[in-house]
Structure 1
Amino acid sequence: MIDDLLPLLKQAFGYSEFRDGQSDVILAALQGRDSFVLMPTGGGKSLCYQLPALLLPQVTIVVSPLMSLMKDQVDALKANGIAAEFINSSLSREEVLQVFARLRRGELKLLYVAPERLLQPNFLDRLQDVGVSLFAIDEAHCISQWGHDFRPDYMALALLKQRFAGVPVMALTATADAATRQDILQQLTLQQPYIHLGSFDRPNIRYTVQEKFRPVEQLTAYLQQQDGASGIVYCSSRRKVDELTEQLKQRGFNAAAYHAGLSSEQRNAVQDAFKRDDYQLIVATVAFGMGVNKSNIRYVVHFELPRTIEAYYQETGRAGRDGVAAEAILLFDPADIARMKRWLEAEENPQRAEVAWQRFLAMAAFAEAQICRRQVLLNYFGEARQQRCGNCDICLQPPQQFDGTELAQKALSCVYRVGQSFGMHHVIDVLRGGQNQKIVELQHDKLSTWGLGKEFSHDYWLSILRQLIHFGLLQQDITAHSVLKLQPAARPVLRGETALSLAVPRLQSVKREPQRLSKQQYDRALFAKLKALRKHIAARDDVAPFVVFSDASLIEMCQQLPTDNRSLLAISGVGQTKLSRYGADFIDAISDYLSEEAQPPAGKLAK
């Protein structure tokens, strides 16, 4: 039966084959079964309910948490010639009535709504009158108290099984651990559901963790390598977002801020401009979340350590949704761990605080890991792997080790000489022979450890001290201004009874490694022309550029160089509707480019 669906898949969506797991989920929906679908961001969850919706007799209702997400999905469906609409507060009363009229006439295949709207009694009555073939609950982890983005409105969705007996429910999410998955099944009362647990692996994303020394300079150096690609930088607070956005603007970056402190009009304007590629970069808090339905984000940077691996995975997953190579950069300061501990100590619910602390420790362990990042990430989600990924910083540049016993002795002795009463920066200043007012007043320039490490930079010593903390030789006392305290494990090192191997500090900015993905070879000049054409068409049609064609489709065009309808239709993401709407423009652009390339250079015309 799946073979029978392939012509519809190509005609409606432009794809010649299903991705892993999609066909089984689609068959379950067509057979009227409930289902639970866990697929990574960019793994093709939407198609699991969009394609069945075209074949089912009545409307498919899609529950979506954010207005911008609904609009993007509906714009993309309409671009493919599919009858879809949404109802939310952005529509006028007249526009809502027009959608209801189309629904009543049976003209819609998909209708997107928020849970609050769906559960209004009169809305449910309307749906019962017209009939529903399928409910698709997107971002289903929002229903679980164990999910990283719990939303109370989602809990009432259990009502659907009571009001619409026999109508299948499909729950979909990209991020759910075992506890969250079980909670989703129970909350929605799914009946003997078909369960698909896809791989959490996003092989096109390169994971890199860099120790934070001078974060703004580190970030600036990285962004200068991006050639105008779209990206997101996540910060932990509104203040940091505003501050960093201004710093990046002053350095010439086309950046905008996004956080909950801005008005909804400001946030919507920023998000819309980012989707149109008018902004290169968004600096945001986690408020810039699930509504980011933009397939051509090439990098995500975390300026601080996220609170959970689930949040990290979801946020990094916004990069490379089109399957093209993307990067996830994390700037890590071990002091973030102490700050999080202080924050959780204020939590009134001790059980919730303990769960949050354990999840944060798992995130910290990922950042501190000296083995393949992807192995650590996948293992957290219960997907253990023995093979290294070859596409993370640990695999590409394995940490170099050296005998750090002597340096450790100098550092530990200095902590002891200053009375175990000062933090890292003062200890480093003493080791490097600093003569600031504080050191002179305390007469720390008279200590035997003063100047013992002057040949190394401040950042080098910072890395060494952090490693000594990781090894349990030192502890930062968060109850006393993070002063350094010697631990029992330091004694054998100080006495020379134990050797200590340390990692060579990585002080350089993140550098882009040569692409390991062979499919990324394509004509960059042609890609730039097609990208400009896509932006022009998107502005004309008032849609996001990726709704016209994804970066992946443009890259394939640059590789295959289609110059007629048949060859363009063979490109992934080009269906009949898009061929008729946009095909001539792109064929002309490619043909013109090839003609220009075939012309001899000026002054060398054939005689």
Structure 2
Amino acid sequence: MDMKRHLKSALKQLGFDKPRKAQIIPMNTLDAEQNAIVIAATGSGKQIIYETVGLAHSDKLTIVIEPLLALIYNQVQTLQDHNMSVDYIDMTRSKEDIDKILNKARKGKLNFLYVTPERLQNHSFIETMQHSDIFMIVADECHCITEWGYTFRDAYLHIGDFIGKLKRKPVICACSATISADSLNTIRDSLHMDKPAVLRSDLRRDNLILLKKDVTCNKKTLEERLEFRIKKLCKTIDKYHKDGSVLIFAQTTTYVDALYNILEEKYPDDVTRYHSRIKPERRKKQLLFDFLQGKRKIMIATSAFSMGIDVPDIELVVHFNAPISMTDYIQQIGR
């Protein structure tokens, strides 16, 4: 199956000569204004699918809903690097900034707008979007609807309510690598998707090598056992970390901070960290970009860093603790 000329042109603007085989059908489907649920492996280029289609319809707005600010910053930076008309709204933006962004959207001068689901419940945002020409709404990492919507982020369950308030129903795209069969219908209904195409591609990642390290020991105290595990961790880093980056996942912010303090001594000026308790948000954003831009090569993070972050030179992903779920594990090893 071939792509239309305007899609090929948009893809080239993003820096790609041709699409991957698994991207062609989703691009054509969304371009034809058919709703789609895209299930594809981590790192397979789901982001490129909706960016290409959104760019091909650059006279209209594409709203991308992301679960994490780290994801927003990463994707916005990528589009800005290609001189795209893109912006985002989060808690670091002033009221003046937000008003300017919404004004651009209303006047049709913005191609991509990145937000979290909570923004869709804001009255002024809803009112502006009702008077904006929206081509597509993307629910990226849409498994969060069922994973988080019924617990600590109920805004995910109201995305469909926002869509229902728009004067014209846009194309809806939902993307994830980890949608279970049980959650598929819930996601479809929650997003008010009418007969979406469910597009699956191979979830295997042949470029990943999975290793298991035995860290059992006879040490009696917690401190001794932790020290033993950290020595094992450092040996693993030294063995596999050459020129690329290392991503270490820990289950809690306490573990992240403890590992950071220890590894910063061994690898001075090469370690950074990322979790929800780092304040203010601007500082956390800078820590993220230090890693993405290669200023720091070792990132220690909670699952706040686990979805969709694009770091092309990662050589090693380490789980210092077991992930909470298989969904988290799949997302994290795919970075």
Provide the C-alpha distance between the structure 1 equivalents of 2:152 and 2:183, rounded to a whole number of angstroms.
10
- State the partner residue of 1:255: 271
User: What CA distance in whole angstroms lies between the structure 1 residues aligned with 2:40 and 2:263?
Assistant: 35
Matching of residue 296 in structure 1 with residue 313 in structure 2: yes
Greater Rg over alpha carbons, structure: 1
CA displacement, residues 369-414 of structure 1 (integer Å, 9 cap, x when unaligned): xxxxxxxxxxxxxxxxxxxxxxxxxxxxxxxxxxxxxxxxxxxxxx
TM-score (normalizing by structure 1): 0.49
Residues 287-327 of structure 1 show CA distances to partners (whole Å, capped at 9, x for unaligned) of 33337443322211011222222111111111xxxxxxxxx
Q: For 1:287, what is the secondary structure of its paired residue? A: helix
Quote the residue 1:69 is aligned against: 71
**Distance apart, 1:46 and its partner CA:** 1.4
Within 5 Å, give how 1:494-573 maps onto structure 2.
none
- What is the correspondence of 1:595-606 to structure 2 with a 5 Å cutoff? none
Partner of 2:301: 284
Deviation string for 1:21-58 (max 9, x for gaps)?
Answer: 32211222122211111122211111222112223342
What are the within-5 Å matches in structure 2 for residues 238-387 of structure 1? 238-252=253-267, 254-265=270-281, 266-290=283-307, 292-318=309-335
SS of equivalent residue, structure 2 residue 212: strand
Judging changes above 3 Å, is the alpha-carbon distance between structure 1 residues 268 and 52 closer, same or farther for their aligned structure 2 residues?
A: closer
Per-residue CA deviation, residues 217-251 of structure 1 (Å, 9 max, x unaligned), is: 22111211312421111122333333332332333
Q: CA RMSD in A?
A: 2.4
Aligned pair count? 318
Task: Give the corresponding residue for 1:168.
Answer: 171
Matches within 5 A, 1:75-90: 75-90=77-92
Displacement of 1:3 in angstroms is: 4.7
Residue number in structure 2 paired with 1:34: 35
- Please name the residue that 2:25 is paired with: 24
3-state SS of paired residue (1:209): coil
User: Do the aligned partners of 2:6 and 2:56 also contact (CA within 8 Å) in 1?
Assistant: no
**Does 2:250 correspond to 1:235?**
yes
Q: Is the alpha carbon distance of 1:162 and 1:238 closer, same or farther for their aligned partners in structure 2, counting shifts above 3 Å?
A: closer
Closer, same or farther: CA 186–74 of 1 in aligned 2, 3 Å: same
Percentage of identical aligned residues: 25
Q: How many Å apart are 1:185 and its aligned residue?
A: 1.4
Is there any run of 5+ residues in structure 1 with no aligned partner, and where?
319-607
Structure 2 unmatched runs, 5+: 217-227
Secondary structure class of the residue paired with 2:300: strand
Please name the residue that 1:364 is paired with. none
Q: Look up the match of 2:49.
A: 48
Distance in 1 of aligned mates of 2:262 and 2:147: 38
Q: Which amino acid aligns with 1:313?
A: I
Q: Structure 1's 273 and 122: CA in aligned 2 closer, same or farther, altered over 3 A?
A: same
Amino acid at match of 1:237: T
Q: Any idea what SS the aligned residue of 2:186 has?
A: helix
Aligned 8 A contact 2:8 2:18 in 1? no
The more displaced of 112-121 and 281-290 is: 281-290
Distance 2:62 2:103 in 1: 16
Is the 8 Å Cα contact of residues 118 and 124 (structure 1) preserved in structure 2? yes
